[in-house]
Amino acid sequence: MKTYKVFVDNEWKNGRTGEFIPSYNPCNQEIWAQIPLLSKEEISETVEVAHDAFRTWKETNGLERARLLNRLADLIEENVEHLARIESSDNGKVLSETRNQVLFTARNYRYFAGYADKLMGNLIPLDNQELLDYTTLEPIGVVAIITAWNSPLPLLANKLAPALATGNTVVIKPSEYASASTLEFAHLIEEAGFPRGVVNVVTGNGATGDALVRHRLVGKVSFTGGTNTARVISKAVSDNLIPISLELGGKSPNIIFEDADLEKAVVGAIAGIFGAAGQTCIAGSRLLVQRSVLEVVKDELVAITNSIKLGDPFEESTQMGPVANKNQFDKILSMINEAKQEGAELLCGGSALENDNLKGYFIKPTIFYTEDPKITIACEEIFGPVLTILPFDHVDHAIELANDSIYGLAAGIWTRDLQKAHKTAKQLEVGNVWVNTYRTSQVGTPFGGMKQSGFGRERSWHTLHEYTQTKNVMINLSDDKRNPFMMQI
C-alpha cells in the first residue's frame, strides 16, 4: 500500500490531521493507497501560498510559461504507462483507455503552451480620434480546480493548462475517490521546474473542497462533477462574487435516423454508452431510434453488448472494467431495479456480474427499451453502463425527445442526409453535437454544456477567456481643456 503526501509550495508534506482516506481498487475492492485528509487550516495556508506566488508568476513572460508547459507535456509522454496504470488502479478504466487519455492530456498542455505568448488584447477604434483605447487580458489570480473521479488527468488538463498559460496560480483538489494519479502528476510539475507555489495539490473530502472554494483569496473556481455538488459550490462562491466554470453531467441523446449507416451507428451507440463503463459525462445514455429501423438496431445492439468482455483493466483483451467505486455501484444497481419496477423492458444485462474470478464492482452492460420518455432511467443521469432505447417517428419527434431534458451537454446524429444533419444539429439544445461519430475528442474544439450541464467552455481558445479578465485602457492624446462638469464623448 502506498501512503501519499500532498504537494504544496513545491514541497511534499504530510497532512497535519494524521488522517487518511483509503483508495480502493474497484477491480478487487482492496485498499491500495492512502490519501491525506487535510484540515481547513492547511487549505487556507495553501491558498495563501498560491496567492503569494501569483505576484511573480503573473509577470512571467509567455515564452517562459510556454517552455514550462511544453516541458510538462514531454514528461507526461515519458510517463504514459505509469500514469495510466495509476489511473486504472483508481477508477477501473481499461488500460488502453487511460493510456489514450494520458496522451490526450499531454496534447492539451502543448496546445495551451502555444497560446501563452499570444494573449492579445484589441486596439479599439473610437469616434474621438484624440483618444487611444486598447484592451489587455489579465490573469484572475488563484484558481481553485476541483476534478471528478472518472478521468482525473484529462479533466485536470482541461483546466490547469489554460489557467497556467494565462498566468494564474492554482490549488487543485481531486476527488477523494481518485486522487492518486493527480498526486503522481504533481511529481512531473516539480520535475518540469514550475516556480514555488504556482501549482499546489491538496486532498480530502467534501469539507476540504468547501474550505477551498470559500477562501477569500480564491479568484475563480473551476469544477467538474455532479449537479448537486455544483449547486453547493455555486452557493458557496456567491458570497465572494467570483466567477465559476461548471462542467457537469448529461443525459445525452444519440439519434439514429432510418437513413443512417446502421452498422456504424450501432458501433457508435456502443462506444457512446459502454466506453469507460458508461462513466463519462457525455455518455449517450438515451438512444433515440426511428421506428422503421428499431428492431434491426435493437437486435444488433443486444448481440454486440452480450459479447462485451468484462475483466481486469490491465488485461489487454478486456473491453470494459468495473465501475469506479461502491457508491456508484450501488446507485447504478438501484436505478436498474427502479427501471424494472417502472415497466421498462430489459433487453440484456440488468445485474451485477457474478464471477468468482472478478471480485470488483462489475455490472453487466445493460440495455432497456421503453416507449415512455418520462420514466426515471430515461431522465436521470446514471453514470454507468446502462442504455435506454426510445423510439421516434419523424425528425420533429426526435428533436422533441432529445430536448426534453434538464441537461444539455452532448448529442449524436446518425444520418446520410447532410441537410437533415445540419437542421437537427441547429435545433438540439446541447453544447456539443457529433454527426456520424460519438465520443470523439479534439483539443482545439470547445467543450461544455447548456442548461443543467453547466456553463463555460474547455479545450479550445474560447477557454482563455474563462481564466482571464479584460482590462480597458483609454489614453487622452489631446491638449484641449475640458469641461469638468460634462461627460466627455
CB 36 within 8 A of CB 203: yes
What's the rounded Cα separation, in Å, for the pair 30 and 91?
Answer: 13
Q: Which residues contact 289 (CB under 8 A, 6 or more apart)?
A: 256, 297, 298, 389, 390, 391, 392
The rounded Cα 383 to chain-centroid distance in angstroms is 13
Which residue among the candidates 281, 300, 381, 466 is catalytic per the annotation?
A: 281
Which residue among the candidates 247, 300, 458, 466 is catalytic per the annotation?
A: 247
> For residue 167, which of 465, 468, 466, 473 has the smallest C-alpha distance?
468
> How many other CB atoms are there within 10 angstroms of residue 327's CB atom?
12
486 burial type by CB count under 10 A (0-12 exposed, 13-18 middle, 19+ buried): exposed
The separation between the first and the last C-alpha atoms of the chain, rounded to the nearest angstrom, is 69
CB 310 within 8 A of CB 320: yes
Backbone torsions φ then ψ of 347, nearest 5 degrees: -95, -35
Q: Which residues contact 91 (CB under 8 A, 6 or more apart)?
A: 26, 149, 150, 151, 152, 177, 178, 279, 324, 325
> For residue 104, which of 443, 434, 439 has the smallest C-alpha distance?
443
Cell reading at 157:
488538463
27 labelled catalytic = no
Cell reading at 35:
490519501
Side chain identity, residue 155? L
CB 364 within 8 A of CB 384: no
Give me the half-sphere count of Cα atoms (radius 13 Å) on the Cβ side of residue 214: 12
Active site residues: 247, 281
